[in-house]
Amino acid sequence: MADPRTVVITGASRGLGLATAVRLHGSGWHVVAAMRSPDTGLDRLRAAAGAAPGDPRLTAVRLDLEDAASITSAAKEITSAAGAPDVVVHNAAFVTVGCVEEVPADLTEKIFATNVAGPIRLTRELLPAMRAAGRGRFVVVSSVGGISGMPSTSLYSATKGAIERWAEALAHEIAPFGLCVTVLTAGTFRTDVYDPAFTQTHAVPDGPYAPHHAGLDRAGERVTRSAKPPEQFAAALEKALETRDPFCHRAVGGEARAMLIARRLLPQAAFRAMTRAATGLPRPNALRP
């Protein structure tokens, strides 16, 4: 009997990562769940997946994407436990909310370390084994913030734009070795994204950007009401793994697909006007003294 395919999923203890880990484990994959706190995260994953303690197809690895030593150690554990992974899903992300004057400057390094530098380091560590095996796919989980800079989450948008461009370049570099890259632009799914454990909100309700936040809050309520369960994202990710294309970029969710199409087809001025209207932002020059 052939060994099961192996998938490494970062941020597998909650949200989209947890749903994806449960889905692929149920489909027979060996899931290597990379997380900050495997002691508690693995119990949560086992319960969600209905897996027994000691299940050989469920492995937890400690990974802190802000710590280079942790990334090196995690990569060694991964290759020791499962050899060269068939798929690596870069899902873990840190989110911070607030306009540019509101977000503390020191959070810039933290969010780029988690969302950009960390995934790149982990890829560097795993690539030699995957290249030697002549197979494998890296999946980068992005968001609509990677399509266009979104107000009040400018740092998060910047990291998603950066990791998408990196993924495109990576695909060119590794395709000759039989390796592939997929970018998935996720729409809105019902996760604990607003949990202070990994989302920091610095919006000042009565500050100079108060009109921005009022409009964004209203837009957020509308979007949240139509959010889909994370299991739908997991199903879409599993289907995306069927492609053999060296590089593919897919939207997951109706609003993500609409955003991608609009960005490609609309003139820049029209697209920005659409974004402003959808997010309820004040018109240009409306707040001049």
pLDDT of 221 strictly over 90 = no
Q: Is 6-279 a domain of CATH 3.40.50.300?
A: no
% of residues, the chain, pLDDT over 70: 97
pLDDT of 209 strictly over 80 = yes
Return the pLDDT at 198: 55
Domain boundaries of the chain, sorted by first residue = 6-279
Q: Is 194 a catalytic residue?
A: no
Return the pLDDT at 216: 83
pTM of the model: 0.93
Residues 6+ positions from 48 with CB-CB distance below 8 Å = 18, 21, 22
Confidence of residue 130 (pLDDT cuts 50, 70, 90): very high
pLDDT of 10 strictly over 80 = yes
Q: Which of 156, 198, 209, 233 is catalytic?
A: 156
pLDDT of 195 strictly over 60 = no
Return the pLDDT at 201: 85
% of residues, the chain, pLDDT over 90: 70
- pLDDT tens digits for 76-94? 999 998 899 999 999 999 8
